[in-house]
C-alpha cells in the first residue's frame, strides 16, 4: 500500500499536480500608466543541487491569462493569437550564482534570455526584461493609449532539490 501511495505521489509531482508556478508580466503604457498580465497555470520547476540550477520545460497556458479587465484580456489574447499559440515556453534554463540563461518561446518565436533569480523557501523567483517586438508584437494600442516595447517578466516556480552526482 505504501509503495502505491509513493508511486502516486511521485507521478502527480512529476505532472506538477501539487505545485504550480505563476507568471506576472508588467507593461508600461504611453502616455502614462501600467498594467499586468497574470498567468496562474504554469507547469514546470527549477531543480538545484545547491550550486547549479536548471529548469524543466516550463509551460504557461496563455488561454488563462488575466489582466483585471475583461476587454483587455480579450485584446491581449487576440494579439498573442492564443488560438494558434496557446502556450509560451521556457526551455534550456541553466545557471548559478543568481543568474540563469534559457530560451523563451512566444508565438513560435525563440529568443535567448538572461534572467536573475533568487530562492525563497520552496520557490524560485526569476526576473528579466525583454521586448514585445522580439515576438512579433508591435504597435499595440487601444484608442490613444500605446503599449511600450519593454515587458518585465517575473516567473515563480516550485523548487526540486537534487543530490549532486559524485564523480568516481
Q: Looking at residues 32-51, what average pLDDT do you find? A: 93
Most confident among 7-21, 50-64, 137-151 (mean pLDDT): 50-64
Closest to 85 (Cα-Cα) out of 76, 95, 96, 93 = 76
Whole-structure pTM value = 0.82
Give the pLDDT of residue 145: 86
Whether 138 has a pLDDT exceeding 70, the answer reads yes
Give the pLDDT of residue 25: 94
Closest to 135 (Cα-Cα) out of 110, 152, 160, 155 = 110
Contact (CB, 8 A) for 70 and 141: no
Superfamily covering domain 19-161: Lipid/polyisoprenoid-binding, YceI-like (2.40.128.110)
What's the chain's Rg over C-alpha atoms? 18
CA trace torsion 3, 7, 13, 17 (10° rounding): -110
* For residue 31, cis peptide bond before it (omega within 30 degrees of 0): yes
Amino acid at each position: 500500500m505504501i509503495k502505491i501511495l509513493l508511486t502516486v505521489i511521485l507521478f502527480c509531482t512529476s505532472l506538477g499536480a501539487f505545485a504550480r508556478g505563476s507568471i506576472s508580466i508588467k507593461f508600461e503604457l504611453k502616455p502614462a500608466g501600467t498594467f499586468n498580465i497574470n498567468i496562474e497555470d504554469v507547469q514546470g520547476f527549477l531543480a538545484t543541487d545547491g550550486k547549479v540550477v536548471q529548469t524543466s520545460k516550463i509551460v504557461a497556458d496563455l488561454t488563462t491569462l488575466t489582466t483585471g479587465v475583461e476587454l483587455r484580456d480579450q485584446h491581449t489574447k487576440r494579439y498573442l493569437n492564443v488560438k494558434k499559440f496557446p502556450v509560451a515556453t521556457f526551455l534550456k534554463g541553466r545557471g548559478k550564482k543568481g543568474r540563469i540563461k534559457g530560451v523563451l518561446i512566444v508565438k513560435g518565436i525563440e529568443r535567448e534570455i538572461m534572467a536573475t533569480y533568487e530562492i525563497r523557501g520552496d520557490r524560485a523567483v526569476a526576473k528579466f526584461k525583454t521586448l514585445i517586438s522580439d515576438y512579433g508584437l508591435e504597435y499595440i494600442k487601444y484608442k490613444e493609449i500605446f503599449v511600450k516595447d519593454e515587458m518585465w517578466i517575473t516567473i515563480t516556480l516550485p523548487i526540486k532539490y537534487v543530490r549532486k552526482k559524485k564523480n568516481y
